[in-house]
Chain A
Amino acid sequence: MELKVSDLAVSRGGLVVLEGLDFALAAGHALVLRGPNGIGKTTLLRTLAGLQPAVAGTISAPPESLAYASHSDGLKAALDVTENLRFWASVHGLDAAAVGVALDAMNLRALARRPAANLSAGQKRRLGLARLLVTGRPVWLLDEPTVSLDATSVALFSAVVRGHLAAGGLAVLASHIDLGLPEAEVLDLGPFRPRRARAAHAPAGGFDEAFA
């Protein structure tokens, strides 16, 4: 399994926000996307996930190999933790054993029968991340996965990601904080802004690398 992106351009609301993206990610590797708010991290992840078409360029991984975790966790408040996970497991063709593994991995065993409506923000997030484990897909696309997680849960999550990588998986993460994944490569999205936007954002009178 390999994720290879060549000359990719993505757009949001008809405006190209990132262009000329080229990277390759081999099995067992993680890529952390960095960049200020609004640069297009979410747009890039949604394009990789196949939720929106790319303006230009190619993505090598087939959409069936990608699991996307957005800002919202896709939980149903009226269902309990196990029911939420069991639903996604059966949509992805996995059985109850995978649900048990996911519950243990994100430390949700004690909350297994609690309705999602009564979970705290961090617990919801943990459940949303546990969903990745019941997709059975090799490439994880994670958008700000650690929002509202405490330090213990971030460590738990890092362990889960590391386990996924060790099993030959891949992960692309958009995150502002340190995830405790020193082995992950970091990709700064700043240089991939379209040329005109970069020129407009350059400080007045300063060195403008677009014309260098």
Chain B
Amino acid sequence: MIALLVRDLRLAVRAGGGFGLGLAFFLLVAVLVPLGVGPEGGTLGRIAPGILWVGALLACLLSLDRLFALDFEDGSLDLLATAPLPLEGAVAAKALAHWLVTGLPLALLSPVLGILLNLPAAGYLWLVVSLLVGTPALSVIGAFGAAVTVGLKRGGLLLSLLVLPLYVPTLIFGAEVVKRGATGAEFATPLALLAAITAGAAALLPFAAAAALRINLR
């Protein structure tokens, strides 16, 4: 599993790996929204949690269709399926690699973009915390969607349609944590629910994704 994780990380940071794609998209959203909405700080500050979370979610979605499709095309998915590593473990390793190159950098970059969106000062910590807790769910749910659509040509559209509804709870609770954190309200409940979604997804979906991959490889 570690070998697969290291390989995926290495592939992501090498030329053409698409490491910067999600980050660049996130940056673009955060730069363009203030230009479109206008410079009133009050409005921006109010919509900032939602915008940042939507941006992070779409940035995650952007690189998902490559998660298994590349391995499927060059035949290494067949070889991984016959390797001693259980396919569930391979899915978990690939989802973790996806999170390490998209979710984690997004969470670390988000305070900088919070400044652009005039996020209230109390919200920064909770923005980073909510993204750190919530984005693993995005990667794991996305891995499941990618596994279901792996054999399809141009499966990206179907993948987005499949995965977006599953992303909605994470988005709602994630943005809610930041909103409440920024206004000093009580935020423990949405944070706990966000963590519950991540824990549940990480525990169950690798098995579902591995089952979908086995069917798609037939």
- Name A's B-contacting residues (CB within 8 A): 46, 49-53, 63-64, 66-68, 70-79, 83, 87-88, 90-93, 131
Contact = CB atoms under 8 A, between A and B. Distances in A.
Given A51-B218, A78-B14, A91 B3 contact: yes
Contact of B81 (A51, A71, A93): A51
A46 B81 CA distance: 11
A79 B78 contact: no
B75 interface: yes
A66 B82 contact: yes
B154 to A, nearest CB: 20
B75 A78 contact: no
A63 B79 contact: no
B39 interface: no
B83 interface: yes
B82 A49 contact: yes
B104 interface: no
Contact of A70 (B17, B75, B80): B75
**Contact residues of A: prevailing secondary structure:** loop
Nearest to B218: A52
Contacts of B7: 76, 79, 83, 87
Contacts, number: 70
Q: Which size bracket describes the interface of B in this complex?
A: 20 to 34
Contacts of A83: 7, 10
A75 B74 contact: yes
9 contacts: A46-B78, A74-B74, A75-B74, A78-B14, A83-B7, A87-B7, A88-B79, A88-B83, A91-B4
A92 B83 contact: yes
Contacts of B4: 87, 91
Interface of B: 2-4, 7, 10-11, 14-17, 73-76, 78-85, 217-218
Nearest to B76: A74
A36 B124 CA distance: 66
A77 B84 CA distance: 23
B79 A68 contact: yes
A78 B84 contact: no
A24 B10 CA distance: 43
A72 B83 contact: no
A72 B75 contact: yes
A72 B4 CA distance: 19
Contacts of B218: 51-53
B169 to A, nearest CB: 35
Contacts of B15: 78
Contacts of A68: 78-79, 82
Contact of A51 (B17, B82, B84, B85): B82
Contacts of A52: 217-218
A83 B7 CA distance: 9
B182 to A, nearest CB: 41
